[in-house]
């Protein structure tokens, strides 16, 4: 670890992030294996479609727990848009789609990340509720249960492309981003470029954790 690296995430945040990501991937694979006849071969390694469905259902429960903790942990920062700075960032697409000399400063999470988080939070909740009703229809109206199948498929169609956009922007599209969710530490240069406002706020409050340095006291006095 190089001196001067900045702590972007703690261990619990990374555990929740990867739990959500891995369960999401497994749910997509098992779901596709059940949904399309041409992909039924995905059930062969686990002993058939019955076992694939069991894996899908129980992974869904794991996803639900991970989703609950992610909403609890990130909604305040990533689930609420800040105006007008987020609008200004959206106008420039954050510099991802074309060259921008000065990308408007935003907080720890940019509007693109917020849109992804809100989409996963809302449609993830739809997937969990509809999946539970499909698994345990009990004595519910059959038309309602059938509608749950539609909602479940809709949730997949929304989350699936967003997941791969997030994967791209977290790796190739934004070099230096991946370590934030692998080791928790990122370079100051990356933070200055991607989250300058958050960097300034953390320095001002004395909450910034820098590897090899003692915490600086807040510049504000009570």
Q: What is the domain partition of the chain in residue ranges?
A: 11-176
Q: Is the peptide bond before 84 cis (omega within 30 degrees of 0)?
A: yes
CATH superfamily of 11-176: Transmembrane di-heme cytochromes, Chain C (1.20.950.20)
Rounded Cα–Cα distance for residues 28 and 167 (Å)? 15
Q: What is the pLDDT of residues 172-204, one digit of tens each?
A: 777 778 888 999 999 998 888 778 888 888 989
C-beta separation of 29 from 39 below 8 A? no
Reported pTM: 0.85
DSSP H or E run through 6: strand 6-7
- Mean pLDDT is lowest, of 68-82, 146-160, 184-198, for 184-198
The pLDDT tens digits for 201-217 are 898 988 889 887 765 55
């Amino acid at each position: 670890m190089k001196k001067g690296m900045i702590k972007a995430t703690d261990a619990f945040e990374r555990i929740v992030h990867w739990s959500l990501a891995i369960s999401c991937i497994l749910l997509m694979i098992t779901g596709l294996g059940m949904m399309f006849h041409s992909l039924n071969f995905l059930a062969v390694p686990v002993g058939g479609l019955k076992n694939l469905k069991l894996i899908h259902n129980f992974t869904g429960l794991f996803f639900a727990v991970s989703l609950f903790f992610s909403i609890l942990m990130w909604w305040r920062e990533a689930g609420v848009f800040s105006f007008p700075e987020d609008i200004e960032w959206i106008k420039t697409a954050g510099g991802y789609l074309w060259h921008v000399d000065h990308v408007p400063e935003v907080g720890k999470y940019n509007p693109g990340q917020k849109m992804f988080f809100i989409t996963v939070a809302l449609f993830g909740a739809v997937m969990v509720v509809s999946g539970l009703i499909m698994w345990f229809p009990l004595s519910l109206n059959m038309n309602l249960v059938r509608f749950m199948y539609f909602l479940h498929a809709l949730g997949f169609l929304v989350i699936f492309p967003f997941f791969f956009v997030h994967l791209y922007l977290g790796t190739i599209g934004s070099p230096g981003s991946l370590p934030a969710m692998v080791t928790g530490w990122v370079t100051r240069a990356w933070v200055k470029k991607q989250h300058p406002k958050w960097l300034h706020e953390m320095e001002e409050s004395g909450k910034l954790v820098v590897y090899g340095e003692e915490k600086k006291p807040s510049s504000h006095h009570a």
